[in-house]
């Protein structure tokens, strides 16, 4: 057991899924307002009683703003920009660039491309 927090970020971007049949609507260029939620866990709290200060997640917000916001996601990833693969990509980036400065561990990343559709990548430790 332990403590769990989440923080959501949003950005707007376009993509298309080129491996789908040409008649599939997602094979055409289209955009979404994405919501990305990171979940962090910790067995203990840091003063004054945080899993981590939400301000410590600013490098992830900056990464999304610089690399994903108002971009063609097909250019940002080396794979099809599905929500599932976006979640894994963002999670791996977070673990490599943000997590080392935290007293908490990333447990999951959820990417929602609409209010009713989302994908989740869970970290295996």
Read off the pTM. 0.93
Strand order in the sheet with 117-122: 3-15, 30-42, 105-114, 117-122
| pLDDT (tens digit per residue) in 90-109 | 999 999 999 998 999 999 99
| pLDDT (tens digit per residue) in 6-50 | 999 999 999 999 898 888 998 899 999 999 999 999 999 999 999
Catalytic residue, from 26, 80, 84, 122: name it. Answer: 26
In contact, 37 and 94? CB cutoff 8 Å? no
pLDDT for residue 26: 87
> Known catalytic residue: 113?
yes
Which two structure tokens, joined as six digits, stand for 44?
């203990």
CA–CA distance, 42 with 107 (Å, rounded to integer): 10
Q: How many angstroms from the chain centroid is the CA of residue 102?
A: 17
* Residue 100: φ, ψ to 5°: -60, -25
| pLDDT (tens digit per residue) in 80-94 | 999 999 999 999 999
Catalytic residue, from 39, 89, 99, 113: name it. Answer: 113
In contact, 5 and 108? CB cutoff 8 Å? no
The CATH architecture that domain 3-122 belongs to is 2-Layer Sandwich (3.30)
Residue boundaries of the structural domains of the chain: 3-122
């Amino acid at each position: 057991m332990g403590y769990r927090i989440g923080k959501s970020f949003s950005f707007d971007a376009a993509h298309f899924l080129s491996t789908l049949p040409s008649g599939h609507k997602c094979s055409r260029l289209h955009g979404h307002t994405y919501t990305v939620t990171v979940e962090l866990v910790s067995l203990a709290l840091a003063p004054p009683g945080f899993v981590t200060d939400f301000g410590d997640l600013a490098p992830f917000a900056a990464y999304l703003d610089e690399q994903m916001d108002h971009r063609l996601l097909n250019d940002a990833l080396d794979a099809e920009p599905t929500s599932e693969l976006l979640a894994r990509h963002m999670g791996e980036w977070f673990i490599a660039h943000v997590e080392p400065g935290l007293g908490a561990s990333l447990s999951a990343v959820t990417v929602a491309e609409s209010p009713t559709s989302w994908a989740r990548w869970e970290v295996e430790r």
